[in-house]
């Protein structure tokens, strides 16, 4: 995984987790994933990005990610949206706010149907 991909991955996880308020399970997942991917710097960057303004973090991340994700292949975009879906299921449920956020990203990335298929599985 390239440094940019690590940055995207960690920002996606961080911004979705912070969408409703970061809980302990999610904080631990962020730490574990950053260690596994050797992405501690990217996690620190993502957390700083979110902390800059929690209220606008999702919209800012969406704008930032849309400038990068458009160049990714469709399978890579599906992989990223699937990662977000699976990450949110760690706690056993996905909130309506999180689902709405993921649908917005999937629509931006032209993988909305694929996300719906993943959810129905």
- pLDDT value at residue 73: 93
pLDDT in tens, 77-119: 999 988 888 887 877 778 888 888 889 999 999 999 999 998 8
Is residue 40 over pLDDT 80? yes
Is residue 64 over pLDDT 90? yes
Tokens standing for 63? 């704008």
CB 18 within 8 A of CB 50: yes
Within 10 angstroms of residue 108's Cβ, the number of other Cβ atoms is 16
| pTM for this prediction | 0.88
């Amino acid at each position: 995984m390239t440094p940019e991909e690590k940055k995207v991955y960690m920002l996606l996880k961080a911004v979705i987790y912070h969408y409703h308020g970061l809980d302990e399970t999610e904080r631990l997942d962020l730490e574990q994933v950053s260690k596994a991917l050797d992405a501690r710097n990217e996690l620190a960057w993502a957390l700083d990005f979110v902390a800059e303004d929690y209220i606008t973090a999702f919209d800012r991340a969406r704008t930032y990610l849309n400038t990068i994700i458009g160049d990714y292949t469709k399978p890579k975009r599906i992989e990223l949206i699937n990662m977000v879906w699976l990450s949110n299921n760690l706690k056993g449920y996905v909130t309506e706010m999180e689902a709405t956020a993921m649908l917005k990203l999937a629509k931006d990335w032209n993988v909305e149907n694929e996300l719906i298929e993943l959810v129905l599985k």
